[in-house]
Amino acid sequence: MGLLIISSMMVLGGMYLIFAFVWWILQIIANWNIFTKAGEAGWKSLIPIYGDYVSYKIAWQTSYFWLNFILGILLSYVSNANLNESMFLSLIVILLKIALTVINIM
């Protein structure tokens, strides 16, 4: 019985990995096409932070990228602090998460 469960989980895990890999390849192709249609080199979409910067340059303004980038860094820094000690830090974390969510939805 245990061998059947383990083999089923391995098959499902393998199917998930195949699906995730295909999805990743489709994302690369789509981003490459978006960048070339916008007049940018397609290889720029492959570099993680620079690709995001160029995406913001194409769609919005780069100031939104920097705001999102800095708020993300602040959120990761404040989240690693001991939140049990300070209610103020917990409030800051919640506000930063709300701000990042609003920016990303826009």
pLDDT, tens digit (0-9, with 9 covering 90-100), for 58-77 = 887 777 778 778 887 877 77
Instruction: Work out how many domains the chain is built from and give that number.
Output: 1
pLDDT, tens digit (0-9, with 9 covering 90-100), for 23-54 = 999 999 998 998 899 888 888 888 888 888 88
Please report the pLDDT score of residue 20 as a whole number. 94
In one-letter notation, the amino acid at residue 95 is L
CB-based contacts of 93: which residues, under 8 Å, 6+ apart? 75, 78, 79, 83
In whole angstroms, give the CA distance from residue 84 to residue 92.
13
Q: Does pTM top 0.75 for this prediction?
A: no
Please report the pLDDT score of residue 57 as a whole number. 84
Q: Count of CB atoms within 10 A of residue 65's CB?
A: 19
**Average pLDDT value over all residues in the chain:** 82
In whole angstroms, give the CA distance from residue 77 to residue 88.
14
Residues of the domain holding 47: 2-105
